[in-house]
A and B are shown apart, each in its own frame.
Chain A
Amino acid sequence: MKAIKCECGHENPYGTEFCAACGKPFKGGDSDQLINMRYEGSAIRSKTYNKTIIDKIWNFFSSVKVGVTIIFIILVAAAIGSIFPQQEYIPSNADPATYYEDRYGIFGKIYYLLGFENLYGSWWFITLLAALGLSIIVASIDRGVPLYKSLKNQRVTRHENFLKGQRLVSITPGSIPFEHIKGALIKNRYKVREENGNILAEKGRFSRWGAYVNHTGLIIFLVGAMLRFFPGMYIDKVVWIKEGETAAIPGTNNEYYLKNNNFILQTYSKNDKQYKAALQKAGEVPKNYESKITLYRAKSKPVIGELPKLEKIKDGQAKVNHPFKFSHYGIYQSYYRQGELDKMKFNLVNKKTGKAYGPMTVDLNNPKTEYDLGHGVEVKLSRYYPNFYFDEKGLPASRNKSPENPAFVFDFKTPETPDGERSLVAIQQTIEANKQQANKYKMKFAGVEMKDVSGLTVKKDLTLPIIIVGAAIFMLGVVQGLYWNHRRIWIRQKDNETWLAAHTNKNWFGFKKEIQKISDETGLIMPVDKVEPKRS
Chain B
Amino acid sequence: MAGISSTLLYCAFIIYLIATFVFAMSISDKKGREKGAAYIKRWGRIGYTIAIIGFICQLGYFITRWIASGHAPVSNLFEFTTFFGMMMVFAFIIIYAIYKTNVLGVFAMAIALLVIAYASMFPRDISPLIPALQSDWLKIHVTTAALGEGILSISFVAGLIYLILTVDQKVSTAKTKWLEFIMYCLLCIVGFIIVTIISQSIGTKEEFSWKAWKDGQRVEQTITYELPVLIGPPDGKLLTKGGYEPFVHAPSWMKGEEAPKKLNTFIWSLLSGAVLYGLLRLILRKRIAAAIQPKLANMNDDLVDEISYRAVAIGFPVFTLGALIFAMIWAQKAWTRFWGWDPKEVWALITFLFYAAYIHLRLNKGWHGEKSAWLSVIGFLIIAFNLIAVNLVLAGLHSYA
Interface residues of A (CB under 8 A from B): 38, 64-65, 67-68, 71-72, 74-75, 78-79, 81-83, 85-86, 88-91, 93-94, 99, 103-107, 120, 236, 268, 272, 274-275, 277-279, 281-282, 285-289, 319-323, 330, 332, 334, 457, 459, 464, 467, 471, 474-475, 478-479, 482-483, 506-510, 531-535
Q: Which residue of B lies closest to A108 (CB)?
A: B253
CA distance A83 to B394 in the complex (A): 7
> Cα distance A474–B395 when bound, in Å?
30
> Does any Cβ of A come within 8 Å of B278's Cβ?
no
The interface residues of chain B lying within 8 Å CB-to-CB of A85 are: 395-396
Q: Are B128 and A268 in contact (CB under 8 A)?
A: yes
Chain A nearest CB, measured from B379 CB (Å):
12
Question: Range of interface residues on chain B?
Answer: 35 or more
Q: What are the residues of chain B within 8 A of A275 when measuring CB–CB? A: 69, 125-128
* Complex-state Cα separation, A94 to B349, whole angstroms: 29
The smallest beta-carbon distance between B157 and chain A, in angstroms, is 17
- A363 and B390 CA atoms in complex are apart in Å by 47
B60 adjacent to chain A (CB < 8 Å) = no
Q: Other CB < 8 Å A-B pairs besides A75-B353, A467-B338, A474-B320, 12 of them?
A: A71-B360, A82-B343, A103-B216, A120-B341, A274-B126, A285-B130, A321-B135, A323-B336, A475-B321, A478-B320, A483-B317, A532-B302
Stretch in B39-47, B184-192, B262-270, B305-313 with 4+ CB within 8 Å of A: B305-313
Bound CA span A104–B126, Å: 34
Chain B contacts for A81, CB-based, 8 A: 341, 346
In the complex, what residues of B have CB within 8 A of residue A268's CB? 128
10 closest A-B pairs by CB: A91-B216, A105-B253, A278-B127, A320-B131, A278-B125, A64-B364, A277-B125, A482-B313, A275-B128, A82-B343
Is A507 touching B365 in the complex (CB atoms < 8 A)?
A: no
Tell me if A321 and B132 are in contact (CB < 8 A). Answer: yes
Inter-chain contact A72/B357, CB cutoff 8 Å: yes
**In the complex, which residue of chain A has the Cβ closest to the Cβ of B303?**
A509
**Residue of B with least CB distance to A65:** B365
A68 touches B357 (CB 8 A): yes
Residues of B within 8 A of A281 (CB): 123, 125
Determine which of B69, B132, B313, B350 lies in contact with A274 in the assembled complex, contact meaning CB atoms within 8 Å.
B69
* A82: contacting residue among B166, B347, B364, CB under 8 A: B347
Q: Is the pair B354, A75 in contact by a Cβ cutoff of 8 Å?
A: yes
B295 CB to closest chain A CB (Å) equals: 15
Residue B200, interface by CB 8 Å: no
- Contact between B306 and A508, CB atoms less than 8 A apart: yes
Is B70 interfacial (CB-CB < 8 Å)?
yes
Chain A proximity of B373: nearest CB distance (Å): 13
- Which residue on A lies nearest to B252, using beta carbons? A105
Contact A278/B134 with A85-B396, A321-B334 known, Cβ cut-off 8 Å: no
Known pairs A104-B253, A475-B325, A483-B317; A286 contacts B306 (CB<8 A): no
Closest chain B CB from A536 CB (angstroms): 11
**Pairs across A and B, CB under 8 Å, 28 listed:** A64-B360, A67-B360, A68-B360, A71-B357, A74-B353, A75-B353, A83-B394, A86-B341, A89-B342, A99-B216, A107-B253, A272-B128, A274-B69, A274-B70, A275-B126, A278-B127, A281-B123, A285-B130, A286-B131, A320-B132, A322-B333, A330-B336, A334-B336, A457-B336, A459-B337, A464-B338, A478-B316, A535-B165
Q: B residues within 8 A CB of A334?
A: 336
Interface residues of B in 333-380 (CB under 8 A from A): 333-334, 336-338, 340-343, 346-347, 349-350, 353-354, 356-357, 359-361, 363-365
CA–CA, A274 and B73, complex, Å:
13
Q: Is B149 an interface residue (CB 8 A)?
A: no
- Shortest A456–chain B CB gap in Å is 10
- What residues of A have a CB within 8 angstroms of the CB of B125 in the complex? 275, 277-278, 281
> B72-86: which residues lie under 8 A (CB-CB) from chain A?
none
**How far apart sit A334 and B334, CA to CA, in the bound complex (Å)?**
9
Chain B residues, Cβ within 8 Å of A72: 353, 357
Docked Cα-Cα span, A105 to B256, in Å, equals 12
A506 cross-chain contacts in B, Cβ below 8 A: 309, 313, 363
Residue B97 interfacial (CB < 8 Å): no
Contact indicator A278/B128 (Cβ below 8 Å): yes
Cross-chain contact of A509 among B99, B123, B313, B320 (Cβ < 8 A): B99
Chain A residues near B395 (CB, 8 Å)? 85
Residues of A within 8 A of B332 (CB): 464
Closest to A92 in B: B216
Report the minimum CB–CB distance from A485 to chain B (whole Å).
10
Contact residues in A for B240 (Cβ distance below 8 Å): none
Q: In the complex the two chains form, what is the Cα distance from A322 to B134 in whole Å?
A: 10
Closest to B367 in A: A68
| A321 with B134: CB separation less than 8 A | yes
Q: How far is the CA of A79 from the CA of B361 in the complex (A)?
A: 21
Complex contact B317–A478 (CB within 8 A): yes
Q: Tell me which of A64, A78, A86, A277 contacts B350 (CB under 8 A).
A: A78
Question: Is B274 in contact with chain A by the CB < 8 A criterion?
Answer: no
Distance in Å from the Cβ of B349 to the closest Cβ of chain A?
Answer: 6
CB neighbours of A86 from chain B (8 A): 341
With contacts A83-B394, A274-B70, A479-B317 known, is A64 near B131, CB below 8 A? no
Do residues A90 and B216 form an inter-chain contact, with CB atoms below 8 A?
yes
Q: Is B194 an interface residue (CB 8 A)?
A: no
Question: A332 near B336 (CB under 8 angstroms)?
Answer: yes
Q: Which of A71, A91, A321 has the most CB of B within 10 A?
A: A321
Question: Once the chains are docked, how many angstroms separate the CA of A103 from the CA of B340?
Answer: 22
Using CB atoms, name the residue of chain B closest to A463.
B338
B99 touches A282 (CB 8 A): no
Residues 214-250 of B contacting A (Cβ, < 8 Å): 215-216
- Shortest A318–chain B CB gap in Å is 11
Residues of B within 8 A of A289 (CB): 131
In this assembly, does B300 line the interface, its C-beta being within 8 Å of a C-beta of chain A?
yes
Residue pair A482, B302 in contact (C-beta under 8 Å): no
Q: Which residue of A lies closest to B98 (CB)?
A: A510
Chain A residue with the shortest CB-CB distance to B353? A75
